[in-house]
Structure 1
Amino acid sequence: MKVQKKLSPAIVEASKPEAEPYRVWDTTVPQLFLRVQPSGVRSWNVQWARTSSKSLGKWPGVTVESARVKAKALLVETDQHGAPRAVLDAKKPKAYTLGEFVEQEFKPWASANRKWGDGAADRILAVFEEFREKPLAELTPWIIEKWRSKRIKAGISPNTCNRDLATLKSALRRALEWGLIDADPLGAVKQSKVDSSRVRYLSEDEENRLRKALADRDGAARQARARNNAWRKERNQEPLPALGPSDYGDHLSPAVLLSLNTGLRRGELTSLEWADIDFHSHNLTVRAAAAKSGKRRSVPLNDESIAALKQWRKQVGTKGRIFPFRDFKTAWGALLEDAKIADFRWHDLRHHFASRLAQAGVNLNAIRDLMGHADLKMTLRYSHLSPDNLAAAVALLSAPRKPAKSRKARSV
């Protein structure tokens, strides 16, 4: 039975504890009640819905009149907002800064669910360091446009800015899906327009210089290992594994040679496992999870690729990934400097592979399949590299056509 009284200090004091907790409702503010616990603790509460109430404090710290004032104020907020502001604020998700969100939420998820997910998180923290302490909701298109302009002015390519921005936007879409923000703050930010038709490939002389630089690099590594082991021997220390005359100094040479002969994307290359190589059929499998298109494909391996992989397998064994690295930036930059090759990215090894195929007269559809292009438009960038074949095709139209024999002549 609901007990209602015009609450006063005397009535509160007279409300003694019982075996079970009970309530005494105020008639002045009907939604206010005094809760009496078996322990003797008496507390004020206000109820605005059948199953929704909030504590206002304990007697005697909160007097009867103070409890009524607090209850009335919360009921006004409930009328305006559907619930007291304190209750609504408590239900709101934490207002993460960019750094907090990436480190506490996005990175653990990405590491478990995405290839190189922790790398994406680290990239955001490094590239967008100036926004680490900024709340997610305060990231605006204007802030990002200023960031992009500053980066491009400093010499960073629009392509690189696009990749960095795509990584950040992908993370923020997760924050939106998880209810951590109410709207995508960068939804209006567009990618910079770039010339995607760029096809940079090595001239014959450049390729020769690149291969020589690789060979010189491996030779220097073998000599350094021999000197190191001689030094260790003099000091009675365990020698490092010796490098034979055909051994690679490290992963760079086999990685470059495989890229030159398969056109794999860097992500596809670094995701390769030894189980993806069929030495018997001379074939390599790009798993769907590693492919940009999300589709599995096979790439034939020529003799140079097979030889490079066999030599590298002999040196490192067959456990784990073939090239357990995310990128080759430091070693690659030094190699290009030694080979005196400018304006050539790792991705351009892929262009070089496709360009050589086109120059050899390989059908564009075959090139598309080998490259893993989802759209033939991407492959058409290499069509201009086979002018002789195109000219030969058009030349067929000018060949004189032989007159068809008459039915009478054929019957003779």
Structure 2
Amino acid sequence: MPYRPKGTRYWHYDFQVRGRRFHGSCGTEDYEEAKAVEAGARVEARNAPEVTGHFSVSQALGTYWTDICQHQPSARTARSQGKMILTVLDGIKPMSDLTNSELMRYVASRRATVANATVNRELQMLGRALRHMEKIHGAAMPKIDLKAVQTAEPEERVRELSPAEQKRMFKHLRPDLAPFVTFALLTGARLSTITELRWSDIDHDNRRMTFRLKGGGKMKYPISQEIADLLVTLPRSDLPTHSRYVFTFEVQNRKDQRRKIVPNGGGIMEDFRSAMAAAEIEDFRFHDLRHTFATRLLRHTGNLKLVSRLLGHSKVETTARYAHVLDGDLAHALDSLSLMGVSRRKSRSGRKKEY
């Protein structure tokens, strides 16, 4: 029944439906009218998604972004993916009614304009949202097979920066972006990880720093001497909201002001691409700095597991794409051993002898 709290002349309602509390003002001083308002609120509550477990596709994506995505470095990407999904799928449709045929229609529509990998990332985001709604909010899951509707992707290319290209790149980079790019080459960290790095994440005493990873995880990363030398040279922003971040850039026409580098914001990536064009470096993206780090380290150590850990991969199989850099070592190993029982070695004079 409606009640009137102290200090207000309006009646209020406060009740529970299936363990969930609903409360608010009836917006009236008339008791009989307040009872009618409460009755209407009870009807709405019994049909509320959080009670019935029946959420629309739009509600599922929005709730998942609010609960999880907005707190991650990839928040912008998740928001964009959610909006793109709703341009094809019916947002008011109950998520439990989604079918494979609708997902196939989505795939066909999106493949006309974007790469297969992009479509698959969007479907994976949808899948995470649906599973979150089932696990946290008790939503009913649709009978769909997201893996079955995903499209085949070409094996991810590995683009390595050559020493000559690297020299030209730094020649054409904006000076305030050079440390940012250098750090990417020294660590292999993703763009979002670097932009979210804070001074509080740096532990100089123990030579460790904390990286925020894709998907919301964290990892401890060792600080090499090269990284330590770079960090001590970095200028800090005077702006309170930006000073806590490690990497900042000079605001154009305001050289005295530095702001946090934002992925896909502030024209930073446009400036990076312009530098690549000026340096005549073709088919090279910022993410390829990560590929360059991985291939160089693997070539130097020959240790795939070590490289996998530094890249933050949960499975070493994900790192296997870089294994091609070891092909030369494999060939050398075969050349040094005869599988037919005859070893070919070089004599001191440099001539080959058979044994």
Does residue 1:345 correspond to 2:285, yes or no?
yes
Give the distance between the partners of 2:303 and 2:121, measured in 1 at CA. Answer: 31
What's 1:336 paired with? 273
State the AA in 1 paired with 2:293: F
Structure 1 pair 178/263, CA: closer, same or farther in 2 (3 Å)?
closer
1:290 maps to: 213
Q: Distance in 2 between matches of 1:257 and 1:385?
A: 22
Does structure 1 residue 311 correspond to structure 2 residue 233?
Answer: yes
- Kept in 2: contact 1:277–1:284 (CA 8 A): yes
Q: After alignment, is 92-101 or 191-200 more displaced?
A: 92-101
Q: Is the 8 A contact 1:373 1:379 kept in 2?
A: yes
Alignment-mate amino acid for residue 93 of structure 2: P
Match of 1:164 among 103, 107, 122: 122
Which residue does the alignment assign to 1:20? Answer: none
1:368-392, Cα deviation, whole Å (9 max, x unpaired): 3322333333333323224443344
1:7-406 equivalence runs, <5 A: 93=52, 96-103=55-62, 105-110=63-68, 114-116=71-73, 118-119=75-76, 122-130=79-87, 131=89, 133-137=91-95, 138-154=97-113, 156-178=114-136, 181-184=139-142, 186-190=144-148, 191-214=150-173, 217-218=174-175, 248=176, 252-279=177-204, 283-287=207-211, 290=213, 294=217, 296-303=219-226, 305-315=227-237, 319-323=243-247, 324=260, 327-328=263-264, 330-340=267-277, 341-360=281-300, 362-397=302-337, 398=343
CA distance in 2, matches of 1:211, 1:147: 42
**Structure 1's 162 and 255: CA in aligned 2 closer, same or farther, altered over 3 A?**
farther
Q: Using a 3 Å threshold, how does the CA distance of structure 1 residues 140 and 101 change in structure 2: closer, same or farther?
A: same
Kept in 2: contact 1:125–1:132 (CA 8 A):
no
1:263, CA displacement in angstroms?
0.5
SS for the counterpart of 2:68 is: helix
Q: Is the 8 A contact 2:53 2:139 kept in 1?
A: no
- Judging changes above 3 Å, is the alpha-carbon distance between structure 1 residues 385 and 208 closer, same or farther for their aligned structure 2 residues? same
- Please tell me the residue identity of whatever aligns with 2:179: P
Please list every run of 5 or more consecutive structure 1 residues that lacks an aligned counterpart in the other structure: 1-40, 42-54, 56-85, 219-247, 402-412
Seen in structure 2, the aligned counterparts of structure 1 residues 400 and 124 have a Cα distance that, compared at 3 Å, is closer
Amino acid of the structure 1 residue aligned with 2:198: E
Aligned to 1:312, the other structure's residue is in SS state coil
Contact 1:102 1:121 in 2 (8 A): no
Aligned residues: 279
Q: Structure 1 residues 372, 182: CA separation in 2 closer, same or farther (over 3 Å shift)?
A: closer
Which residue of the partner structure matches residue 28 of structure 2?
none
SS in 2 for 1:320: coil
Cα distance, 1:120 vs structure 2: 6.0
**1:185-216 deviation digits (Å, cap 9, x = unpaired):** 544454322234521222333322321221xx
Relative to structure 1, the CA distance from residue 339 to residue 270 in structure 2 (aligned partners, 3 Å threshold; closer, same or farther) is: closer
Q: Is the 8 A contact 2:261 2:268 kept in 1?
A: no
CA distance in 1, matches of 2:195, 2:45: 50
SS of equivalent residue, structure 1 residue 128: helix
User: Contact 2:134 / 2:141 at 8 angstroms: preserved in 1?
Assistant: yes
TM-score for both structures, normalised by structure 2:
0.63
Q: TM-score, normalised by structure 1?
A: 0.56
Percent identity over the alignment is: 24
Query: Is the alpha carbon distance of 1:383 and 1:173 closer, same or farther for their aligned partners in structure 2, counting shifts above 3 Å?
Result: closer
Q: 2:333 & 2:238 partners in 1: Cα distance?
A: 48
CA 326–164 in structure 1, closer or farther in 2 if over 3 Å, else same:
farther
Cα deviation for residue 132 of structure 1 reads 6.1
User: Could you say if the C-alpha distance between residues 337 and 393 of structure 1 is closer, same or farther in structure 2, counting changes exceeding 3 Å?
Assistant: same
5+ long unaligned stretches in structure 2: 1-31, 33-38, 248-259, 338-342, 347-355
Deviation (angstroms), 1:149? 2.2
Tell me the distance in 2 between the aligned counterparts of 1:296 and 1:202. Answer: 26
In the alignment, the residues of structure 2 paired with residue 273 and residue 309 of structure 1 have an alpha-carbon distance, to the nearest angstrom, of: 11
Provide the rounded CA distance (Å) in 1 between the counterparts of 2:217 and 2:48. 41
| SS of 2:125 mapped into structure 1 | helix
Distance between the aligned counterparts of 1:95 and 1:377, measured in 2? 38
| CA drift at 1:94 | 7.3
Report if aligned partners of 2:69, 2:75 keep a CA contact under 8 Å in 1: yes
Q: d(CA) in 2 for partners of 1:374 and 1:90?
A: 39
Deviation at 1:352, TM superposition (A): 0.7
Cα pair distance change 1:179/1:299, threshold 3 Å: closer
- Shift of the 88–189 alpha-carbon distance from structure 1 to 2, 3 Å rule, reads farther
Contact 1:260/1:350 (<8 A) preserved: yes
2: CA distance between counterparts of 1:136 and 1:277? Answer: 46
- Quote the Cα distance in structure 2 between the aligned partners of 1:391 and 1:363: 17
User: Helix, strand or coil for the counterpart of 1:285?
Assistant: strand
Alpha-carbon RMSD: 3.9
1:331 CA drift (Å): 2.2
Following the alignment from structure 2 to structure 1, what is the Cα–Cα distance between the partners of residues 323 and 183?
24
